[in-house]
Amino acid sequence: MAMMVSATNFDVIVVGGGHAGTEAALASARSGSKTLLVTQNIETLGQMSCNPAIGGIGKSHLVKEIDALGGVMALAADHSGIHFRVLNARKGPAVRATRAQADRQLYRAYIRHALENQQNLKLFQQSVDDLIIGDGRVTGVVTDTGLRFTAPAVVLTVGTFLGGIIHVGMDKQPGGRAGDPPSNRLADRLRELPFSVDRLKTGTPPRIDGNTVDFSELEEQPGDEQRPVMSYMASRDDHPRQVPCFITHTNEETHELIHSGLDRSPLYTGEIAGVGPRYCPSIEDKIVRFADKSSHQIFIEPEGLNTTELYPNGISTSLPFDVQQAFVRTIKGFENTHITRPGYAIEYDFFEPRDLKNSLETRHLPGLFFAGQINGTTGYEEAGAQGLIAGINAARLAKGEEAWSPRRNEAYMGVLVDDLITMGTREPYRMFTSRAEYRLILRQDNADRRLTEQGRELGLIDEQRWRYFCEKEEAIQRQAGVLSKTYVHPGDAAVETLLGQALNRDHSLLGLLKRPGVTVNELMNAAKLDSLREEVAEQIEIDCKYEGYIVRQQEEIDRVMAQQEMAIPDSIEYGTISGLSNEVCQKLESVRPATIGQAGRVAGVTHAAISLLLVYLKKQYLMESQGKQGTSRPLKLGR
């Protein structure tokens, strides 16, 4: 072999340089493990396969959690974002979200820069074709040219590339996404291993040339004036030049044309077997399933600052190219439009996520971790979150440390992982805030307060971020103290004017802050105190307004936590537990939950079944400890 690679032994190898792979590699390297990122093509590191946007409802929550654990996605979005908006601005902080349109090139460049400058991390361009397996564990990877790299932990993040097939009308071609080859050898190899594999489908709209669009016809959608930032460490000054988006609509003529092409649609002729996402249907699906809607909204998003290409969000399609061209031209503003890249659908392999542990290590092959689209999810943010968790745990495994994964009440990442490994998925899984039962606690504004301390213990947080976090937290505590100790008295004109009513007795400022519509800084000003920093004021205000709910949710969490966290040993045989019905046994057997809490979330597992499980575990405990005294509990990472 002519090629020389300086080192072939690593602690962690990450395969795939998409959103999952880059976060995995960075997290692993940050926590001190010697890490190798192998990817098909270094030029496509951080490539956004579909729409050029980061964030959105439920998703920006994930991005900020990644950020709170030292990840790169939020910073990349801030340095490449060309249009920022806060969604649900008027609906209360818990469900507020941030969305950024990104310049694809700037985004990629930022990611690549971060990777190239990360200590302990090496990049390598080649396709991985095989895994090295020894002693029932994964011990490394083999590339398409036969190079071997070894590591005790391997993270697979190969996205939509496994057995990828791209459909445009009745034409189908192998591909990992437009312009990239699929990973078929690796796919075949993985199908030989004891994983349970199935197919999913997703799609993307045609791109259009902005020079051929009549913008005078279109409704402009500017970014927010009060521009939000993604990262706790970024400021508005990091944002590049900002541009607007536009809105247009389909019409009945569009729908007719689409209808006429259905006989050549791979979705409707049965060519595509994989299941697509219900919340992200193709335009042909929308028209068939919601036949009474005569028009659908399309958001026109810029692909970047230095390109005229546009992304028409809302018309994802796999219709034949001639139909695409015809129907696009019926849309207002698009009458003379030129398509630069056809829309397409892609089918790909994914693995049953219920076969994963909450560390994202596969149960069938120790040392091998899966993250991103191959676990049945969709979206950059979902991929990034999983990559981070897999990267952390791959590094921990290599160091012989216990696995770590946030709980459902700590992070959307916890909800994501727990949903996947407990319920599995039948369609590409995307995050929504309604999936989180502790939605009022899991907010995008407090991801740092929920996670950064743990991130620090995990070795993911650098000095600068840590210092910044500590200062902010300290300011919140101090100022909340001031507010609770500062009293205003009846007759205080400034305060009474602010409240619009007279005070009947003394009130603390914190008490008054509970009233609807009152803001911290208005109160501070009325009480002649200095205004607070934006992010400090925000936390005090939200904590105060949600206090009742947060206390209640926290009580609920505390009440059940001890039992929920009770570990179920790997060796458990459900068939031997008396009283458990066959049906419940099977369900538990297929998920093999790690804790009592997770077992309780498996569909069809009853309260009585959990009681029986607890009695069984107690029985095991008694049997094992008979004669032995004082068992020591393994130390858990501080929470």
Partner 1 sequence: MSEKPPVLEDTIVAQATPPGRGGIGVVRLSGNKVQDICQAITGSLPVPRFAAISDFRDGDRSVIDRGLVIYFPKPASFTGEHVLELHGHGGPVVMRLLLDRCVRLGARIAAPGEFTQRAFLNDKIDLSQAEAIADLIDSASKAAAKSAVRSMQGEFSNQIEKLTEKVTLLRMYVEAAIDFPEEEIDFLGDKKVQGMLKSILSEFDEVTEKATQGALLREGVSLVLAGRPNAGKSSLMNSLTGKEVSIVTDIAGTTRDIVDNYIHLDGLPLRLIDTAGLRSGSDVIEVEGVKRAHGEIRNADHVILIVDCFAYRGELAAAAEALRGEVPGEMPVTVVVNKIDLNPDWQRELDGVPEGWVPVSAKTGEGIGCLREHLKQALGFIAVEEGTFIARTRHLDALARARISVETGGRHLVEAGAGELLAEELKLCQQALGEITGIVTSDDLLGRIFSSFCIGK
Binding site for partner 1 (CB under 8 A): 57-58, 87-88, 90-95, 277-281, 286, 289-290, 293, 296-297, 299, 313-314, 316, 423, 432-435, 437, 439-440, 516-517, 549, 559-560, 562-563, 566-567, 569, 577-579, 596, 603, 606-608, 611-612, 614-626, 631, 633
Q: Least distance from C-beta 59 to ligand FAD, angstroms?
A: 8
Q: Least distance from C-beta 605 to partner 1, angstroms?
A: 11
Question: In 458-595, where does DSSP find H-type helix?
Answer: 463-485, 493-499, 509-513, 520-526, 534-545, 547-564, 582-591
Q: Least distance from C-beta 181 to partner 1, angstroms?
A: 29
| 360 contact partners, CB below 8 Å, separation of at least 6 | 369, 370, 371, 375, 386, 389, 390, 393, 405, 417
Distance CA 375, CA 225 (A): 38
Biggest alpha carbon–alpha carbon distance for the chain: 87
Nearer to partner 1, 70 or 203 (CB): 203
Task: Tell me the backbone φ, ψ of residue 89, rounded to 5 degrees.
Answer: -55, -35
Q: Least distance from C-beta 202 to ligand FAD, angstroms?
A: 4
Nearer to partner 1, 144 or 309 (CB): 309
From ligand FAD, partner 1, none, interface partner of 617 (C-beta below 5 to 8 A by class): partner 1
Q: Least distance from C-beta 94 to partner 1, angstroms?
A: 5
Q: What is the DSSP string of 148-160?
A: EEE-SEEEE--GG
Q: Least distance from C-beta 259 to partner 1, angstroms?
A: 16
Nearer to partner 1, 171 or 437 (CB): 437
Q: What is the DSSP string of 498-533?
A: HHTS--SS-EEHHHHHTSTT--HHHHHHHTT-PPPP
User: How far from the centroid of its chain's Cα atoms is residue 388's Cα?
Assistant: 10
Nearer to partner 1, 348 or 438 (CB): 438
Distance CA 157, CA 19 (A): 8
Nearer to ligand FAD, 14 or 599 (CB): 14
| 311 contact partners, CB below 8 Å, separation of at least 6 | 51, 52, 205, 207, 300, 301, 302, 303
Nearer to ligand FAD, 44 or 248 (CB): 44
Nearer to ligand FAD, 75 or 440 (CB): 75
Q: Least distance from C-beta 13 to partner 1, angstroms?
A: 33
Pairing, β 368-370 against β 81-87: unpaired
From ligand FAD, partner 1, none, interface partner of 202 (C-beta below 5 to 8 A by class): ligand FAD
Q: Least distance from C-beta 264 to partner 1, angstroms?
A: 22
Nearer to ligand FAD, 385 or 544 (CB): 385
Write down the residue that tokens 């008027």 correspond to: 90
From partner 1, ligand FAD, none, interface partner of 262 (C-beta below 5 to 8 A by class): none
From partner 1, ligand FAD, none, interface partner of 611 (C-beta below 5 to 8 A by class): partner 1
Any idea what DSSP says for residue 408?
A: T
Distance CA 210, CA 570 (A): 57
> For the sheet containing 309-313, what is the strand order?
219-221, 245-249, 297-302, 309-313, 207-209, 339-341
Instruction: Give which of 141, 144, 187 is closest to 165, Cα–Cα.
Output: 187
The H or E element spanning position 326 is helix 321-328
Own/partner contacts of 333-338, CB < 8 Å, gap of 24 or more, are 333/213, 333/214, 333/215, 333/217, 333/218, 333/246, 333/248, 334/208, 334/213, 334/214, 334/248, 335/214, 336/212, 336/214, 337/208, 337/209, 337/212, 337/213, 338/208, 338/209, 338/211, 338/212
Nearer to partner 1, 124 or 432 (CB): 432
Nearer to partner 1, 194 or 634 (CB): 634
From ligand FAD, partner 1, none, interface partner of 17 (C-beta below 5 to 8 A by class): ligand FAD
Distance CA 118, CA 113 (A): 9
From partner 1, ligand FAD, none, interface partner of 607 (C-beta below 5 to 8 A by class): partner 1
Nearer to ligand FAD, 31 or 49 (CB): 49
From ligand FAD, partner 1, none, interface partner of 452 (C-beta below 5 to 8 A by class): none
Tokens of 563: 């039992």
Binding positions for ligand FAD, rule: CB under 6 A: 15-21, 38-41, 44, 49-50, 127-128, 157-161, 176-177, 180, 183, 186, 202-204, 280, 346, 372-373, 378-380, 383
Q: Least distance from C-beta 304 to partner 1, angstroms?
A: 19
- How far CA 107 is from CA of 128, 305, 380, in Å, comes to 25, 12, 12
From ligand FAD, partner 1, none, interface partner of 569 (C-beta below 5 to 8 A by class): partner 1
270 φ/ψ sector (left φ>0, alpha ψ -120 to 50, else beta): left
Q: Least distance from C-beta 559 to partner 1, angstroms?
A: 6
From ligand FAD, partner 1, none, interface partner of 290 (C-beta below 5 to 8 A by class): partner 1
From ligand FAD, partner 1, none, interface partner of 372 (C-beta below 5 to 8 A by class): ligand FAD
From ligand FAD, partner 1, none, interface partner of 296 (C-beta below 5 to 8 A by class): partner 1
Q: Least distance from C-beta 184 to partner 1, angstroms?
A: 30
